[in-house]
Chains A and B, each alone.
Chain A
Amino acid sequence: SQTIHQWPATLVQPVGSPLSLECTVEGTSNPNLYWYRQAAGRGLQLLFYSVGIGQISSEVPQNLSASRPQDRQFILSSKKLLLSDSGFYLCAWTRGSGNTIYFGEGSWLTVV
């Protein structure tokens, strides 16, 4: 079966510090990978998606970037965090030709 795991689960970072959130999918190959942000009490905002290694599409201009160094690994980064980057970040995956999206456990980021 397929699993998705993201870490760290919780992160408190000072303004101006770097960020790295990691996500890996197991049990499948060539998945589509996604990063979403969910503000408290609000819906899901798509940040990035990737259909293959090194292929990143950005949905929202912002202080964040994403990379896909390996087929089943997706990384969300920032060089300098802003207070507004605080939120709940979700990694997700679908099969290459699939129509069902599966989410990781989520990562809480608090920028102080």
Chain B
Amino acid sequence: GQQLNQSPQSMFIQEGEDVSMNCTSSSIFNTWLWYKQDPGEGPVLLIALYKAGELTSNGRLTAQFGITRKDSFLNISASIPSDVGIYFCAGPSTTSGTYKYIFGTGTRLKVLA
């Protein structure tokens, strides 16, 4: 079945640094979704991308839908301590039925003050 590979798996950064993470697949996706999950809470949608090549920002976050439709990246500028958490990419499956979503394994971000 479809899979989403996220990298890096985890990262430690200094407060104020920019962060970049990406998500790749061997198959195409028609939508890319990025979520942040804080410990003990449900994932919160950060950015949704619906069109190949689309570049969308949400405050300090920027995400892009890759032209090949097989990848997406998420950038966080000027990180702050509250950016700590796990970031997931996801998308509705294009091979397993319209109701199923595929999730990446997550990038765990830790910010050092």
Q: Please give the residue numbers on chain A whose beta carbons come within 8 Å of chain B beta carbons, in ascending order.
A: 32, 34, 42-44, 46, 49, 51, 57, 88, 90, 94, 99-106, 108
Contacts and interface: CB of A to CB of B under 8 A. Distances in A.
Interface SS of A by simple majority = strand
Nearest to B29: A99
B103 A43 contact: yes
Contacts, number: 43
Nearest to A97: B98
Given A49-B99, A99-B50, 19 more contacts: A32-B99, A34-B101, A43-B103, A43-B104, A43-B105, A43-B106, A46-B100, A46-B101, A49-B100, A51-B99, A88-B40, A90-B42, A99-B30, A99-B31, A100-B33, A103-B35, A104-B42, A105-B41, A106-B40
B1 to A, nearest CB: 11
Interface in B10-55: 30-31, 33, 35, 40-45, 48, 50
B90 interface: yes
Nearest to A103: B42
A49 B40 CA distance: 22
B44 A103 contact: yes
